[in-house]
Structure 1
Amino acid sequence: MPIDRKDWAQRFPEFLVEAEALLAKTEECLSHLQLISNDKDAIDCLLATLLKLANRAEMLALVAISEFCQHLHSVIDSARVRIDLHQQALDALKDCLTLMAWQLELVDQQTGQLDLEESEQTALIEAFAFQIGQGTVQPALTSKRLPRLAFSERQA
């Protein structure tokens, strides 16, 4: 069901506040991983936060941001058992999170459009995947739907 423009304009500022908080949480996870490399709790927190951000972005039809979060989540999740988050990998992850923050700032607040060259997202995700030992990266997850959050999770 398409989002009504008026409803979208009312919900977008709330989304931005929540997205900034979620990105701050990913930064906390990253900082924790810089102190304790490969900490399972920090990785799980990072994964949950990326998924939550992807869901929130999808609810507002912010496809580029939702897919970027999903793709990053997928790369981390698929390598979780044998992931090696050495400094170069953490730097590559930070680059991904920085781009995501920039993209949130560039969303047109009236239309919801985000004009971007997807090659930068792809290059950063590939660089991160390479750093954690994944030789190839799956294509963007455009056809994969996110698991729906329960109403109580949406309000959290």
Structure 2
Amino acid sequence: MMNNANEWQTALPDFLLEAETLLAKSEECLNHLHLIRNDSDAIDCMKISLSRLAEKAEGLALQAISEFSRHIQYLIANAASPMELHDQALSALHDCLTLLAWQLELIDTRTGELALDESEQTKLIATVTLQIPQKDFSYKSQQRVHHSP
């Protein structure tokens, strides 16, 4: 987290430039997946780009962007059939990337604050979860196994 406004104002332009690059790369990979559905390189590229965006946002204490990026990346990484993303799944992912781009534009350049209603993020995550079936194994199911008598 930045110590003062001067550090924030110095770091923000670099972050925004890198974030735009990472989002553009994710969009490029998504467009590629519209053409070639089973391209593991494009899927990996999206996961890596979203993970890097999350790390960079976390470094500037932009929790909403960091958590949203990580959640999208997790849903892609935990897909039951990552090589079978259909049009609705790709469309939902596109909507998430569009929201991320929009949120980057809303960051207050003086304070670093991002005032937003997280309901749109929540709605998009729910849509992506419906469109990209997840593997059955999860942290919660793992806990149930360890705590069952």
Give the TM interval when normalised to the shorter protein: 0.7 to 0.9
| Partner residue, 2:90 | 90
Distance in 1 separating the partners of 2:95 and 2:57: 20
Matched, 1:41 2:41: yes
- Note closer, same or farther for the CA distance 1:87–1:116 as it changes in structure 2 (3 Å cut): same
Question: 1:93 is matched by which residue type in structure 2?
Answer: L
- Note closer, same or farther for the CA distance 1:2–1:18 as it changes in structure 2 (3 Å cut): closer
Distance in 1 separating the partners of 2:114 and 2:125: 19
Question: 2:49 is matched by which residue type in structure 1?
Answer: T
User: How far 1:69 sits from its partner (Å)?
Assistant: 0.3
User: How far 1:134 sits from its partner (Å)?
Assistant: 3.7
| Partner residue, 1:12 | 12
Give a deviation string over 1:100-129, Cα, whole Å, max 9, x none: 000000011111111111110011011011
Question: 1:51 is matched by which residue type in structure 2?
Answer: S
8 A contact 1:129–1:135 mirrored in 2: no
User: How far 1:96 sits from its partner (Å)?
Assistant: 0.4
Distance in 2 separating the partners of 1:3 and 1:130: 40
| Partner residue, 1:22 | 22
Alignment of structure 1 residues 6-155 onto 2, 5 Å: 6-79=6-79, 82-83=81-82, 84-134=84-134
- Unpaired runs of at least 5, structure 2: 139-149
Normalization by structure 2: what TM-score? 0.85
Identity %, equivalent residues = 56
Which aligned runs of 4 or more in structure 1 are off by greater than 4 angstroms? none
8 A contact 1:3–1:60 mirrored in 2: no
- Unpaired runs of at least 5, structure 1: 139-156
Tell which structure's C-alpha radius of gyration is larger: 2
RMSD of aligned alpha carbons = 1.8
Question: 2:114 is matched by which residue type in structure 1?
Answer: L
Secondary structure of 1:130's counterpart equals helix
Give a deviation string over 1:38-97, Cα, whole Å, max 9, x none: 311100000000000001111111111000001111111111x52331111100100000
